[in-house]
C-alpha cells in the first residue's frame, strides 16, 4: 500500500495557512453584517460558529480538512474526523451531523484505500454519537479529507475563546508534540507503530463537554482546541480575545516521550517558524531554551483542549477530565495583561 504521507508536501494541521497571513487576508474582506441570532462568528478566531435557533437551543457549525498526516488510510480517516469534531467540543457543544469532504486522485488512488479512509471516518463519527449525512468528493492531485460538522449547545451555556478571567487556572487535556513526531514519520525516520502514543492521542475525541455536569461546565470560562497554530498561537488568540495574559510554566506542559529530542534532531515543519513569527510581538519567551520554544510552536493535529477554569473549581474539573484524558494537567494561570504582552512562559 502507498504511504499516504509521501504523496503530499505538508500533512495535517501543519498545512494550515499561517495565522498572520490569514489575519491579513481576512482583515481586507468585507463580510455581511451578522444576524442578531449569530452568537459567535470568526472575528476572534473561535473554533466554530454558534447560531441561535431558540431560547434553549443553538447550532454549532464548523468544518476542517487537511492532507495526510499518517500512512494508514483507516487511521488517517479517524484522525481527520476527530480533528473536525473537536471544534464543536471546544465550543462546549455536542456533534450531531457530519458531512464528508474528500478530494483524491482518481487515476492513481486505489478504491480500497478510499473505503478504508471513509470507514475510519465513519467509526469515529459513530463513537461521537453523531451521524454522517452526506458529503462531497472531487478528483484532485492530492488527498484531502475532513468534515463539515453541526452540533448543538445551550443558547445560554457555551464556551468561547474570549471570556478568560484574571485568576483562572489553565488546563491542557492532551500532550504536545504531534507536529515533530509526524514530521519524522513523513521523513521515514519512524513508523506509525513507533509513535503509537501520538497516533492514539490524535484519534481521541475531545469530548470534554460530555463529561461535565452543569456546575463544572460553567466553571470553564473559556476554551479552544490546540491545532495547527501550536499551543503558542492558540493560547495567544484566546488571551488576546479576552484581553488577558497567560502565565504558563513550561515544566508543567505534558509532552509526548521523545518530543524535545525529535525537535533537536530537526524534525520540523514550516509551521514551527510561522507560529513563532505570529506571536513574536506579544509573547515573552526569553526564559525558554530553543527546543522549548519549538515545542510550544509545534503544530498540533487533533490536539487537546485548552481550558480557562475558575480557580475555586479547578480541582473538581481536572479530576473529572482526567478519568478520560489521563495526561490532562494544569499548565498556568490567567493574569491581567500589561501593554502588548499576552503570553508569558517560564
* Rounded distance between C-alpha atoms, residue 97 and residue 120, angstroms: 16
DSSP H or E run through 275:
helix 270-278
- Left (φ > 0), alpha (ψ -120 to 50) or beta: where does 266 sit? left
| Maximum pairwise Cα distance, the chain | 58
**Sign, Cα dihedral of 132, 133, 134, 135:** negative
Residue whose C-alpha cell reads 501543519 in the numeric block:
14
**Alpha carbon distance, N-terminus to C-terminus of the chain:** 45
Is 13 marked active-site? yes
CB–CB of 294/268 below 8 Å? Answer: yes
Which 3 state secondary structure label does DSSP give 252? Answer: helix
From 13, 164, 245, 297, the catalytic residue: 13
- Name the grid cell of 245: 495574559
Q: What is the radius of gyration, based on Cα positions, of the chain?
A: 19
**Sign, Cα dihedral of 251, 253, 256, 261:** negative
CB–CB of 98/130 below 8 Å? Answer: yes
Residues labelled catalytic: 13
Amino acid at each position: 500500500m502507498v504511504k499516504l504521507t509521501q504523496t503530499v508536501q505538508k500533512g495535517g494541521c501543519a498545512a494550515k495557512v499561517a495565522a498572520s497571513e490569514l489575519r491579513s487576508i481576512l482583515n481586507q474582506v468585507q463580510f455581511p453584517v451578522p444576524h442578531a441570532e449569530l452568537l459567535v462568528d470568526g472575528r476572534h478566531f473561535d473554533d466554530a460558529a454558534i447560531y441561535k435557533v431558540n431560547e434553549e437551543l443553538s447550532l454549532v457549525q464548523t468544518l476542517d480538512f487537511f492532507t495526510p498526516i499518517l500512512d494508514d488510510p483507516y487511521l488517517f480517516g479517524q484522525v481527520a474526523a476527530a480533528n473536525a469534531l473537536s471544534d464543536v467540543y471546544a465550543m462546549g457543544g455536542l456533534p450531531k451531523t457530519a458531512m464528508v469532504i474528500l478530494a483524491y486522485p482518481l487515476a492513481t488512488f486505489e478504491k480500497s484505500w478510499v473505503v478504508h479512509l471513509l470507514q475510519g471516518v465513519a467509526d469515529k463519527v459513530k463513537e461521537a454519537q453523531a451521524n454522517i449525512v452526506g458529503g462531497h468528493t472531487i478528483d484532485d492531485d492530492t488527498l484531502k479529507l475532513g468534515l463539515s460538522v453541526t452540533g448543538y449547545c445551550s443558547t445560554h451555556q457555551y464556551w468561547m475563546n474570549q471570556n478568560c478571567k484574571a485568576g483562572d487556572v489553565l488546563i491542557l487535556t492532551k500532550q504536545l508534540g504531534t507536529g515533530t513526531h509526524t514530521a519524522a514519520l513523513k521523513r521515514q525516520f519512524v513508523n506509525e507503530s513507533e509513535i503509537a502514543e501520538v497516533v492514539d492521542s490524535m484519534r481521541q475525541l475531545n469530548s470534554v463537554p460530555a463529561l461535565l455536569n452543569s456546575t463544572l461546565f460553567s466553571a470553564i470560562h473559556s476554551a479552544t482546541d490546540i491545532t495547527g497554530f501550536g499551543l503558542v498561537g492558540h493560547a495567544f488568540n484566546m488571551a488576546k480575545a479576552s484581553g488577558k495574559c497567560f502565565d504558563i510554566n513550561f515544566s508543567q506542559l505534558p509532552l509526548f516521550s521523545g518530543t524535545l529530542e525529535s525537535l533537536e534532531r530537526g524534525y520540523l515543519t514550516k509551521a514551527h517558524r510561522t507560529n513563532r513569527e505570529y506571536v513574536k510581538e506579544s509573547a515573552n519567551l526569553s526564559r525558554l531554551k530553543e527546543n522549548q520554544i519549538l515545542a510550544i510552536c509545534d503544530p498540533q493535529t487533533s490536539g487537546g483542549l485548552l481550558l480557562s477554569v475558575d480557580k475555586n473549581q479547578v480541582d473538581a474539573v481536572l479530576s473529572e477530565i482526567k478519568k478520560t484524558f489521563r495526561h490532562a494537567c494544569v499548565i498556568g494561570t490567567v493574569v491581567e495583561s500589561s501593554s502588548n504582552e499576552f503570553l508569558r512562559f517560564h
